[in-house]
Amino acid sequence: MPNARRATAGALPPGDPAPGRRTGIPRAGRATNGRGARARVGATDRNGFRDLRVLDVHKSFGESKVLHGVDLSIDSGRTLSLLGPSGCGKTTLMRIVSGLEIADSGEVRVGERLLAGPGVNVAPESRRIGLLGQERSLFPHLSVGGNVAYGLGRAPDRATRVREVLDMVDLAGFEKRMPDSLSGGQQQRVAIARALAPRPRMLLLDEPFQALDVHLRLELQAEVRTLLGALGATAVIVTHDQDEAFVMGDDVAVMQEGHIRQRGHPSEVYGHPASPWVASFVGDANFVPGLGSGSTVATPLGNLATCCPVSGKVAVLVRPSHLRLVAAAASGEGDVGATGQVQAMRFYGHATECRVQIGDNVLLARSDRMPSVRVGDDVALHYEGPPAVAYPESSMAGLRRDGKQRREAPASPAR
């Protein structure tokens, strides 16, 4: 997506201040992650955040249909990760929520207020939605105070409000500092303060950590997660990184080709994916053929218990970390499992991955211990996971045995 279409922190002018809330945030509570990100919020005051309801939103660009009747709801004070591959429509959906794009049909509500719907289209600057884009989105020529005040217009309480929100993100006294004198984490907190300044009803964070190196990204994810929770913010975090989605969201909504395929707690989405595609998008996956009968399924790995009743031909999800690999000679007689040959090994330090050829299938096994085998060795694989999740064989159409989309074979060159 071109950067010009990305949300930038505080890019929208403020909406009307909430009635009766012109002087800011009570400071009864203080939350901390122990590493600096602290938000002072009142125990009962949740800073005016509201819930979000998106109902049956459709959007096409010309002939190309991008959103197919999307429903999405987030309760006040919760954070939702909107996760999906590039081009699935995440940004389009967020632009519709923020008013930068108009849906063909459907509704958007924040709290009781209808922002978009039949005959209604509230202007972006009046929606009171705070936007944060990538981390380096502060204006470099403006001080911290200037960045935070940007978007407050000529509001009479500008200076007070800047102090309040800097205090909320634990940067009191930083008004005169310039962005390039701050750490990445401090810059991120200034960006959040800037988005908070006009008292938004919710926050949209579009790939906020995309430009960062992995260490800073992990640090900021934890910091921002804690801060959003402490602020009681209703927030959507758009990402195509499944780890980030799981770390950041109270809930995750997985989007594919303009549809929300699954919505739930991260452990539910990972443990009980709604489809083979979701399973492989949120983590590494093997699918082995099975024949279901009630609460068990016969597979090349032996008879496995299933989480739900199954019958007929199925594809069984096997996470690589649920496979224990042992040298064939060490596998006890009568042990349930499959035998095969190690095709490839990768050592990551914290884990080792082995690709094992079993009949026509290659299964990926991952262990946090270094298995005492080498490429070419005969090995046995044992399933050691929770009751297995199985899908009708037909749901694998178009997918490889690791659940990834099959690529169309390139057309042969004309002779």
In the complex, minimum distance from the CB of residue 139 to ligand ATP, in angstroms, rounded to a whole number:
23
Residues lying near ligand ATP in the complex (CB under 6 A) are found at 1, 61, 66, 84, 86-92, 240
In the complex, minimum distance from the CB of residue 93 to ligand ATP, in angstroms, rounded to a whole number:
7
Question: Is there a contact between 71 and 55 (Cβ–Cβ < 8 Å)?
Answer: yes
Which of 1, 120 has the CB closer to ligand ATP?
1
In the complex, minimum distance from the CB of residue 66 to ligand ATP, in angstroms, rounded to a whole number:
4
In the complex, minimum distance from the CB of residue 1 to ligand ATP, in angstroms, rounded to a whole number:
3
Which of 92, 306 has the CB closer to ligand ATP?
92
Which of 162, 203 has the CB closer to ligand ATP?
203
Diameter over CA atoms, the chain: 81
Give the C-alpha separation, 255 to 116, whole Å.
Answer: 21
Q: Strand 202-206 and strand 129-132: pairing?
A: parallel
In the complex, minimum distance from the CB of residue 166 to ligand ATP, in angstroms, rounded to a whole number:
31
In the complex, minimum distance from the CB of residue 153 to ligand ATP, in angstroms, rounded to a whole number:
28
Which of 240, 401 has the CB closer to ligand ATP?
240
Which of 38, 263 has the CB closer to ligand ATP?
263
Which of 61, 347 has the CB closer to ligand ATP?
61
In the complex, minimum distance from the CB of residue 295 to ligand ATP, in angstroms, rounded to a whole number:
38
Which of 91, 134 has the CB closer to ligand ATP?
91
In the complex, minimum distance from the CB of residue 97 to ligand ATP, in angstroms, rounded to a whole number:
12
In the complex, minimum distance from the CB of residue 242 to ligand ATP, in angstroms, rounded to a whole number:
13
Which of 89, 106 has the CB closer to ligand ATP?
89
- Distance, CA of 121 to chain centre: 28
Which of 92, 296 has the CB closer to ligand ATP?
92
In the complex, minimum distance from the CB of residue 62 to ligand ATP, in angstroms, rounded to a whole number:
7
For the chain, the three-class secondary structure string (H helix, E strand, C coil) is CCHHHCCCCCCCCCCCCCCCCCCCCCCCEEEECCCCCEEEECCCCCCCCCCEEEEEEEEEECCEEEEEEEEEEECCCCEEEEECCCCCCHHHHHHHHHCCCCCCEEEEEECCEEEEECCEECCHHHCCEEEECCCCCCCCCCCHHHHHHCCCCCCCCHHHHHHHHHHHCCCCCCCCCCHHHCCHHHHHHHHHHHHHCCCCCEEEEECCCCCCCHHHHHHHHHHHHHHHHHHCCCEEEEECCHHHHHHHCCEEEEEECCEEEEEECHHHHHHCCCCHHHHHHCCCCEEEEEEEEEEEEEECCEEEEEEEEEEEEEEEEECHHHEEEEEHHHCCCCCCCEEEEEEEEEECCCCEEEEEEECCEEEEEEECCCCCCCCCCEEEEEECCCCEEEEEHHHHCCECCCCCECCCCCCCCCC
Residue nearest to ligand ATP (CB): 91
Which of 26, 87 has the CB closer to ligand ATP?
87
Give the C-alpha separation, 290 to 188, whole Å.
Answer: 48
Which of 83, 373 has the CB closer to ligand ATP?
83
Give the C-alpha separation, 244 to 240, whole Å.
Answer: 8
Give the C-alpha separation, 103 to 213, whole Å.
Answer: 35
Q: Radius of gyration over alpha carbons of the chain, in Å?
A: 25
